[in-house]
Amino acid sequence: MKMIKMQRWFTRFANPLLGVAALLTATGWLLHHSGSFPEVAGMAYGIATLVAGMPILLKAIGALRARVASIELLVSIAVLGALIIGELEEAAMVTFLFGLGNYLERRTLKHTHRALANLTEMQPTQALLVSEGQTRTVAIDDVEVGDQLLVRIGDQVPVDGQVVTGTAVVNEAAITGEARVVNKTPTDQVYTGTIVENGQMVVEAQKVGEETTFGKIIELVEEAQDNQAPVSRFIDQFARFYTPLVLVLALLTQLVTQDFRLAITILVLACPGALVIGTPVSNVAGIGRGAQSGILIKGGQVIDQLAKVRTILMDKTGTITTGKPTVQSFYQYSQQDWLAVAAQLEKQTNHPLAAAVVKFYEQRTGQPVQNHDIAITTVKGTGVTATWHGHQVKLGSPRILEPSAQKLSNKQTADLKKLRENGQSVILMIVDGALVLAMGLSDQVRPGVASALKQLRQTGVTNQWMVTGDQLNVAQSVAHIVGITQVKAGQLPNEKAQFLKEFQASGQPVLFVGDGINDSPAIAQAAVGIAMGSGTDVAIETSDVVLINPDFKNVVFARQIAQATLRNMMENVGIAVGTVALLMLGVSLGWVNMASGMFFHEVSILVVIFNAMRLLKLKRPAWENFSTKTGGESPSSETI
């Protein structure tokens, strides 16, 4: 307990103590090399060694208690050895340089955490609560779900919620990573941390605190930065064995050469500091760069796999397309108004096709959907079933016809054939075994998908599949627009996951991109699962990468970040190993002593940190130039 208190004290005053050590070391060096007051010089060196060396020694003892032979142990033994043979200058220099290296390391590492720090600082702390026609300022922690909040021009939106009244122009860069503004009107969704640039609105809180999108972003990035890549974990394991090996090497050097100075010099210079710090700092910087652009990569393991994928499987609706289809064709085969019932059932689901049916009803009738409490059963990849006033109702894709082997009239058969020929997604409604409604819906391809897929092919992801629950003709129509030649249509959620397993059986890592509940089994099964930010919570929770800005081009950038991060890790390993090798060569040739070697050792640590920080400035692909060169599609969408 006493040692813990000492460690806390030294940590608290680390910077001032380092300054004292620097002053004492400089004083000792000047007096020693001027030949005046040698006793004072020795005293200055001794106190400097004690001040700068105690934190190192305490860390070494703490690590030994945890049965870990740390870098601090090597330095502590070397410093004690220098003191034993009366090399006070060497001892002071080594402890000061080691402390200086740690200080500079802490300072520079802050840059790699800046993306997360900026996110945290952007969290609003107060809100304007609207109550009984009056507004009052409250702490954000006191806001509850259902509260109504006034958000004015220049304010940050304090919660995830829905606009109740008013209109505003909102900058969503904090969420999407893109500096763009969005017009918000009643019923629109707004997100914590976004900024009102014009207008004002009253927002009803739906998610508060850590449950907001902003809170989830911070949580995911924090967790991801602690998740190491395989190369980083390997180096951590290597360091545990490396330190005892260095101790043995130093002991053998002493026994063979009888040169104690050489033995303790080897202890200092063989420290794997740059090797230990090099890969984690690359991991943190890469994840931080993704966070800056609204790409949440959940750890080093994901980076490793994403950099290696050569096969990509993609959902269609909400992934390749915008996920905002509209009803283009409508056929009714009953005198009763079953559309109202269909809208009531679809209102209870969150599928994009369901939202289109609800919107179609409201536009057709000019009335909102009535919220009747109808118990529904969701059949994944098919639709919903329910009992309505004694009637057995099925609503969903044409697959709902199969179990009952429903016979269709000539007109119904012709209508369905026409919908398929037009490349429209089909929704059917069956009541008591009879087809009563048929609707054809069309979606829009996301801008930039064809260019993104072409760039993925050019960078090695050549095996590209669309895997969708939609009909084959609709899927092929979309695939043709974006340049995909391989399509697997009519797939249920478990079938998507099973199809993915067939690729994995050959040992190849597979990337799956999706957005809905029906995609979550495949996203979870894939080596890397990417969820579009507009998707469901289930897909986002099971994914390895979340695109807060649901732009398909971010799939390419996420992979670019992963590849750059993996390269950066290997570069840092090379720098670290090369530095130790050169120092050992310098020692053997008599060119390097303990103090100068420690200086170059600490410089190598800073080099790997600064090398990793280059990832924070990684540029996005030049999409406009790319589209021009490769014939990619223009930014406009196409209706399918």
Residue 520 in tokens:
């979550």
CB atoms inside a 10 Å sphere around CB 156: 21
Burial class (CB in 10 A: 0-12, 13-18, 19+), 457: middle
Angle between helices 88-112 and 594-613 (to 10 degrees): 0
What is the enclosing helix (H) or strand (E) of 171?
A: strand 160-171
Q: Choosing from 155, 304, 315, 551, which is the catalytic residue?
A: 315
Residue 437 in tokens:
């409604």
**In 3D, which of 636, 618, 630, 606 has the Cα closest to residue 106?**
606
Integer CA distances (angstroms), 2 to 6, 8, 68, 614, in order: 6, 10, 20, 41
Q: How far apart are CA 587 and CA 253, in angstroms?
A: 12
DSSP letter (8 states) at residue 208: -
- DSSP letters, 141-162, are GG--TT-EEEE-TTPBP-SEEE
DSSP letter (8 states) at residue 489: -
Q: How far apart are CA 637 and CA 617, in angstroms?
A: 30
| Helix extents (H) in 309-421 | 338-346, 352-365, 410-421
- Residue 551 is among the residues annotated as catalytic for this protein: no
CB atoms inside a 10 Å sphere around CB 146: 10
CB atoms inside a 10 Å sphere around CB 16: 10
CB atoms inside a 10 Å sphere around CB 636: 8
Catalytic residues: 315
